[in-house]
Structure 1
């Protein structure tokens, strides 16, 4: 029996596994032979990307309405101080009409070490200090961490981001904290990672 869809076309949603915010551009249904139920999945086009390979397919339990992200109207503390389960790293400007948001990175004791990209993606989602909405930073967010809070990171190591290399599906971007460079590494290689969480700024 066809279940009601939780989302509609043009809904703005968040996909935690890929750390992507985007818009639903297609809804696909398929028959599950064993139960004769109809499975539903959604195609998400992340904001800031137009290439077909950047689109994401997900079931409705893998995405959330954008308004379900944590929201704050209060003033944030000084950059580099403890706040909301981690260390406050500053404000990330919203793209494509999306609101700005506060970025918080996990404390140093929760650093992920010797992990390939997929393991880093998974481990970054573990609860920290009572919050369960952590994930890997994307390239823009990782650059902000280097600019605003580099002291809390290993300057000799590379840190995974959630951003995959558009030109090679086996590669993803990393952030360095020595000179601030970014480099694409093979997903099977093992590096460090640090989770972040985000708080939408409601004007």
Structure 2
């Protein structure tokens, strides 16, 4: 696994938005604030995706997956929820994903999918739905179509796509 925590990555390390970031596992989608708003983070989406996967957990309230900003925390909650009858297939795929030596991928939150829609929409299939890790209700979760701008709540038991994401802190040039 590549350890970015010891060296850190600066703005100068990032490619142009939409380009594959060599060594970082995917397409660079831009910078977002961290989940408490204090440190910016690079947002990266994998080039690979799962097709025809369910969100899972239909009928269950996954209270640990309500965050619209933090896909990593949501995914951890979903993969450890214990829904043996209706496992969280999309979250399990994303959390097991590995690329360029990185194993810190997760199913993106609603907001992280929104960022991808605005910055790298052309990297997604416009004819299908992508799952977020954010639950909307016991029966639905947020997803996104990259062919239009609506963000519907989708029934957890329908099939869609899952695109792993990861985020890494941006460090100041002098701190790297």
- Structure 1 residues 85 and 200, CA, compared in 2 at 3 Å: closer, same or farther? same
CA RMSD of the aligned region, Å? 2.1
Could you say which residue in structure 1 is the equivalent of 2:146? 177
Distance 2:162 2:148 in 1: 17
Q: 1:33-66: per-residue Cα shift (whole Å, max 9, x none)? A: xxxxxxxxxxxxxxxxxxxxxxxxxxxxxxxxxx
Q: How many correspondences in the alignment? A: 133
Distance 1:142 1:98 in 2: 20
Q: Which has the higher helix share?
A: 2
Q: Which has the higher strand share?
A: 1
Q: 1:69, CA displacement in angstroms?
A: 10
Q: TM-score, normalised by structure 2?
A: 0.69
Distance 1:142 1:69 in 2: 28
What secondary structure, in the 3-state scheme, does the structure 1 residue paired with 2:111 have? helix
Query: What residue ranges of structure 1 are gaps of 5+ in the alignment?
Result: 1-67
Could you say which residue in structure 2 is the equivalent of 1:77? 15
Looking at both structures, which has the greater relative contact order when contacts are Cα pairs under 8 Å and sequence separation is at least 6? 2
Q: TM-score, normalised by structure 1?
A: 0.61
Distance 2:124 2:100 in 1: 19
- Structure 1 residues 69 and 111, CA, compared in 2 at 3 Å: closer, same or farther? farther
Of 187, 192, 196, the match for 2:156: 187
Does residue 200 of the first structure (1) align with residue 169 of the second (2)?
A: yes
- Structure 1 residues 170 and 115, CA, compared in 2 at 3 Å: closer, same or farther? same
Distance 1:69 1:156 in 2: 40
